[in-house]
Each structure stands twice: as structure tokens, then as C-alpha cells.
């Protein structure tokens, strides 16, 4: 078993989960985090630190789709190892993207978005395709 991050994390302002992870398996996109499933040791200490309940074990229903998204995005997004504080200029949302990775972010943003939607739309990985529509 491993843990995954689902869409409840999108635009989330909490990153306390990152600080409690003993193996630093969180990766940061522009507006959400993911867990690298091959690095996660299944300890579960991150799950109670997530107020929006975006962290779930991969045994939960609908986790299969998010397992693949977490795996693919963790391969291209930068690793995050400490909690981010809210950034006032972004409407009190956290800066989930460290300043040092901003130049990298532009280069991978299109690829990451395409990869995410490609996974969501695959009928064999997402029942009914994106938004439950065929």
C-alpha cells in the first residue's frame, strides 16, 4: 500500500503534511502536491496532517486514477521537503512552487497539464473519462 494525493489538494493552503514525511516523498506542482508512490513507505503520518483530506491510501475507491497521476507528476515536479507559508501576493494561498523552481515550472507546466488530462481522460484508468462523461 502507498498513499496518494487527490484533487482536494488543488489550491490547498496547507503543507504541514510535507514536514512530517520521514522520507521526503512529496513533490510540488503549481497548485497541488503529489506523493511519489515508489518512495512512500506507507507510514501514514501525513494523512492526519491534511485538513482537506486530500491524502488517502491507494486502497480507497477512485485512488487508482490518482495513483498514476501522482506517479507521473512526481517524476517531473520538484521535491518539497518543508512547509510553505502563505504568499500574500497570491491571495493568501501558499507558494507551493519554490522561487528557485519558477524557471523550471514554465517549461514543465504544459507537459504536466497534458499528462494529467491524458491520464484522467483514459477510459481504462478513469471510469467514464473526465468528469464522469464518456
Q: What domains are there in the chain, each with its CATH number? A: 3-132 (3.30.70.20)
pTM: 0.66
pLDDT in tens, 72-129: 999 999 999 998 875 533 444 444 544 444 444 444 555 566 666 666 666 555 444 4
Helix, strand and coil in the chain, % to nearest 5: 40, 15, 45
Helices (H), 50-133: 63-76, 102-121
pLDDT in tens, 6-54: 999 999 888 999 999 999 999 999 899 999 999 999 999 999 999 999 9
Amino acid at each position: 500500500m502507498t498513499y496518494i494525493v487527490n484533487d482536494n489538494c488543488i489550491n490547498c493552503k496547507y503543507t504541514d503534511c510535507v514536514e512530517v514525511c520521514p522520507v521526503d516523498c512529496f513533490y510540488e506542482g503549481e497548485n497541488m502536491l503529489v506523493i511519489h508512490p515508489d518512495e512512500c513507505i506507507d507510514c501514514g503520518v501525513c494523512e492526519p496532517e491534511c485538513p482537506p483530506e486530500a491524502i488517502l491510501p491507494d486502497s480507497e475507491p477512485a485512488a487508482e486514477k490518482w495513483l498514476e497521476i501522482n506517479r507521473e507528476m512526481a517524476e517531473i515536479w520538484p521535491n518539497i521537503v518543508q512547509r510553505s507559508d502563505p504568499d500574500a501576493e497570491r491571495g493568501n494561498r501558499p507558494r507551493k512552487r519554490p522561487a528557485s523552481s519558477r524557471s523550471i515550472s514554465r517549461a514543465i507546466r504544459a507537459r504536466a497539464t497534458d499528462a494529467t488530462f491524458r491520464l484522467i481522460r483514459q477510459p481504462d484508468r478513469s471510469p467514464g473519462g473526465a468528469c464522469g462523461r464518456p
